[in-house]
Structure 1
Amino acid sequence: MTWSLHFLGVGAAHAVELGSSAAVLERDGKPLLLIDCGPDTLDRYVAAYGDVPPALFITHTHMDHVGGMERLFFRLWFDEARRGRTRLFVHAALMSWLQARVADYPGVLAEGGVNFWEAFQLVPCHRGFWLDGLWFDVFPTRHHLPQTSFGLALGGSFAYTGDTRPVPEMLARYAAGTELIAHDCGLVGNPSHTGIDDIEREYPHPLRQRLRLYHYGSADDGAALAARGYVMASTGERIALPSPTPPRPDAG
Structure 2
Amino acid sequence: MTRNSVSYSLFFTGTGSGGNLSVGSSAAVLEKNGSPLLLIDCGPGTLNTYAEHYSGQLPSAIFLTHCHLDHIADLEILTVRARLRNAPPIPLFVPVSLITLLHQRLATYPGQMAEGDHDFWQSFQLRPVSDAFRYGEEDFRIYPTRHHGPGSSFALQLPGVFFYSGDTRPIPELLHHVVSTEEKLFHDCGVDPNPSHTGLTDLAREYRPDICQRLTLYHYADESAGAELSKAGYQIACPGQTINLRPELSGHE
Q: TM-score, normalised by structure 2?
A: 0.93
Give the letter for the 1:236 counterpart. Answer: G
Question: Does the 8 Å CA contact 1:153/1:174 hold for their aligned counterparts?
Answer: no
State the shift of 1:92 in Å: 0.7
Matched residue, 1:107: 111
Q: Which has the higher contact order (CA 8 A, sep 6+)?
A: 2
> SS where residue 6 of structure 1 aligns?
strand
Matched residue, 2:54: 49
Distance 1:38 1:8 in 2: 10
Matched residue, 1:169: 173
**Do residues 241 (structure 1) and 241 (structure 2) align?**
no
Matched residue, 1:17: 22
Matched residue, 1:83: 88
Matched residue, 2:78: 72
- Alignment partner of 2:128 out of 101, 110, 124: 124
Distance 2:230 2:115 in 1: 51
Query: 1:42 and 1:223, CA in 2 relative to 1: closer, same or farther beyond 3 A?
Result: same
Matched residue, 1:96: 100
Give the letter for the 1:208 counterpart. Answer: C
> SS where residue 17 of structure 1 aligns?
coil
Distance 1:161 1:100 in 2: 25
> SS where residue 31 of structure 1 aligns?
strand
Mean Cα displacement is larger for which, 93-102 or 163-172?
163-172
Distance 1:67 1:91 in 2: 17
Distance 2:203 2:19 in 1: 22
Q: Percent identity?
A: 45
Question: Does the 8 Å CA contact 1:19/1:40 hold for their aligned counterparts?
Answer: yes
State the shift of 1:112 in Å: 5.7
Distance 1:123 1:178 in 2: 28
Give the letter for the 2:148 counterpart. Answer: H
**Do residues 208 (structure 1) and 209 (structure 2) align?**
no
Give the letter for the 2:59 counterpart. Answer: P
Q: How do residues 129-140 of structure 1 correspond to structure 2 at under 5 angstroms?
A: 129-140=133-144
Matched residue, 1:250: none
Give the letter for the 1:181 counterpart. Answer: L
Matched residue, 2:161: 157
Give the letter for the 1:226 counterpart. Answer: S
State the shift of 1:99 in Å: 0.5
Distance 2:154 2:39 in 1: 15
State the shift of 1:75 in Å: 1.0
Matched residue, 1:59: 65
Give the letter for the 1:101 counterpart. Answer: R
Structure 1 unaligned segments of length 5 or more: list them.
Answer: 247-252
Give the letter for the 1:189 counterpart. Answer: P
Give the letter for the 2:13 counterpart. Answer: L
Distance 1:27 1:142 in 2: 29
Structure holding more strand per residue: 2
Q: TM-score, normalised by structure 1?
A: 0.93
State the shift of 1:3 in Å: 1.0
Distance 2:32 2:137 in 1: 13
Mean Cα displacement is larger for which, 106-115 or 30-39?
106-115
Q: How do residues 168-207 of structure 1 correspond to structure 2 at under 5 angstroms?
A: 168-207=172-211
